[in-house]
Amino acid sequence: MLTSALRSLRLTLSVATAVLAAVPATAPAEPAQRPADLVILEERVGHEGKQVIGVFGREPDPSQPDVWRIRLWDEMQEDLTISTDVVHCSPSAPMRITGLDRKLILRELNPGGAITRRNRLDHLIWWAACHPDQAGRDPATLAPLARQLGYSGTLRESEQVLPAPRR
């Protein structure tokens, strides 16, 4: 079983690496037209102004069931970053794979578990990718649904940071 999980993780990583390497990092500073399928996950005001985080463009991975690609929309007053995340929806290995500054970040998640400030965005993105009918809902309220869907709520959350391949 562990060998199968490792094989699945390797395949997921190769898909994630290809996706993350192919996505442009930022867009021009002029106001961008939001995609029609954009779902706003968070709006917050910080020291740099208003930030809007959402997702759009959900696509299944052609080679792996339970794996989805989703575009992340991160809009600040005069800056827009669009990136692609890979999300693994399997009840045995729920995960978000994202990139930041030439690093690949793998976050193992626990749907139905505790939601904190640190993991909230990961869970919002995960729910939007894996169960789009729940997109934008507070993940702290989705524990009963997660259990109905086969997630134990007892998985250990962790994060691994790996060097991303050069473009």
Residue spans per domain, the chain: 2-163
Residue 105 is predicted with a pLDDT of 96
Spatial CB neighbours of 112, under 8 Å, sequence gap ≥ 6: 142, 143, 144, 145, 146, 147, 151, 152, 153
Q: Return the higher-pLDDT residue of 18 and 73.
A: 73
Contact between 109 and 155 (Cβ < 8 Å): yes
Averaged over 45-73, what is the pLDDT?
94
| Cα(28)–Cα(16) distance, integer angstroms | 25
| Cα(87)–Cα(64) distance, integer angstroms | 11
| Cα(42)–Cα(121) distance, integer angstroms | 8
Residue 1 is predicted with a pLDDT of 41
Q: pLDDT of 24-50, one tens digit each?
A: 444 444 557 999 999 999 999 988 889
